[in-house]
Chain A
Amino acid sequence: MGTITFFVLAVAASALAVLVFVVDSMARATFCLLGSFLAAAGEVILLGLSYLGTVIVVMMVMEMVIMAVFMVMYMMNPAGLMPMSMVHNRRGSLAIAGAVFAGLAVGIVAIRWPTTPRRRPVPRATFELGKALMGPHMLTMVLLGVTLFSTMVVTVMLAVSHGRYDRLGDDLKGPDR
C-alpha cells in the first residue's frame, strides 16, 4: 500500500514538475507546479511528518495563487494562446540538469544506505519539532523570524511606488472619508 502510494505520488510529482516547463499556458504551469508540490507534500506525510506535510500544502497553495497573480501581471502571454519560446540555452541547460541528475543518482544508488528505517515514525514528531525550535534550535527560529521580518520590510520598500501619504494625503484622512 505504502509502496503504491509512494510510486503514484513520485510519478505525479516528477511528471507535473516537467510539465511546468512544457505547457504553453502560464496558468497551467502554475497549477502544474502546485500539483507537484501537493504530491511532494504527500510524500512528506507518507514519511511520517504529517504536520510539516500539511503545512507545506497550506503554504504552497497560497504561494502558487499569488504566483498566478504575478504571472498574469508580468507575462506577455499568460494564457498561452500564442505559443512562443521563452527559453535560452535549452540544450546546455538540459545537459547540465541531466548531468546533475546522473551524478546524484549514481551517488544515491552507490552508497550503502541502511535498508530499513532506523526508527518508526514517532507520533510525537510535531511535538519534538516544537521543542527543538523553542529549545536547542532556538537560534534558528530567531534567525528565521528576523529574516522574515526584514523580508517584509524590503519587499514593501521595493514593490510600493507610492505610500499611504500619496493615497490619503498628508493628514491621512483621505479624499473619500
Chain B
Amino acid sequence: MSIQGFLLLAAALFSVGLFGVLSQQSIVMLMMGLELMFNAVTVAAATFWRYLGPGSPSDQVVVVVAVVAMAVEMAVGFAVTTAIFRARDVDVVDAATDLKDEP
C-alpha cells in the first residue's frame, strides 16, 4: 500500500477509459469509457488527500466535483443520445459528425 500503487491504479483506469473513448463507436460504450476516466480522477484525488494533503479537505472537494461531473456527463450524454436518435436514428459517433470541418 503505497502512493505509487494507488496512482498506478488510477493511471490504469484512466488509460483503459481513454482507450474506450477513442475506440468505441456506440455512444453508450463511449460514455462508459468517460466514466472510467472520471473514476481514475476520484481514486487519484483520494490518494492525494491521504498522502499529500496539507491538512485541508480540498482533495475531498475534488472528489465531490468529479462525482458530480460523472452524474452530469451521464445525464447530458443520454439526453443528447435520445435527442439525436429521435431526430435522425443515429446511435454511433461516426454518424454524428456535424461539427467536423468537412473539406
Name the A residues within 8 Å of B55 (CB-CB): 119
> What is the CB-to-nearest-CB distance from A24 to chain B, in angstroms, rounded to a whole number?
12
Once the chains are docked, how many angstroms separate the CA of A53 from the CA of B9? 16
Contact B71 A148 (CB under 8 A): yes
Given A94-B19, A97-B19, A144-B65; A129-B57 close (CB under 8 Å):
yes
B100 CB to nearest A CB, Å: 14
B22 touches A92 (CB 8 A): yes
Q: Which of A44, A89, A98, A148 contacts B72 (CB 8 A)?
A: A148
Once A44-B42, A49-B63, A59-B70 are accepted as A-B contacts, the answer to whether A159 and B24 lie under 8 Å apart by CB is no
B21 CB to nearest chain A CB (Å): 8
Interface size for A (C-beta < 8 A) is: 81
Q: Is A97 in contact with B22, judged by CB distance below 8 angstroms?
A: yes
Contact of A88 among B16, B19, B23 (CB under 8 A): B23
Q: Quick check: B16 and A147 within 8 Å, CB to CB? A: no
In the complex, what's the smallest C-beta–C-beta distance from B37 to chain A, in angstroms? 10
CB-based contact A17/B13 at 8 Å:
yes
Classify the interface of chain B: helix, strand, loop or mixed.
Answer: helix
Q: Is the CB of B75 within 8 A of A137?
A: no
| CB within 8 Å for A161 and B86 given contacts A86-B24, A97-B18, A155-B79 | yes
Point out the residues of chain B lying under 8 angstroms from A157, CB to CB: 79
Of B28, B35, B53, B79, the contact of A159 (CB 8 Å cutoff): B79
User: Complex Cα distance A42/B99, Å?
Assistant: 40
In contact, B58 and A137 (Cβ under 8 angstroms): yes
Complex contact B18–A75 (CB within 8 A): no
- Beyond A47-B50, A55-B67, A100-B18, whether A147 also contacts B27 by CB under 8 A is no
Using a CB–CB cutoff of 8 Å, the interface residues on chain B facing chain A are: 1-9, 11-20, 22-29, 31-33, 35-36, 39, 42-43, 46-47, 49-58, 60-61, 63-65, 67-68, 70-72, 74-76, 78-83, 85-86, 91-92, 94
Given contact pairs A133-B64, A155-B76, a sample of 10 additional A-B residue pairs in the complex whose CB atoms are under 8 Å apart: A7-B5, A20-B32, A86-B92, A87-B25, A88-B94, A101-B12, A113-B3, A128-B57, A137-B58, A155-B75
Report A's interface with B, CB cutoff 8 A.
2-3, 6-7, 10, 13-14, 17-18, 20-21, 26, 29-30, 33, 36-37, 40, 43-44, 46-49, 52-53, 55-56, 59, 63, 66-67, 70-71, 74-76, 86-90, 92-94, 96-98, 100-101, 104-105, 108-109, 113-115, 117-119, 121, 125, 128-129, 131-133, 137, 140, 144, 147-148, 151-152, 154-159, 161
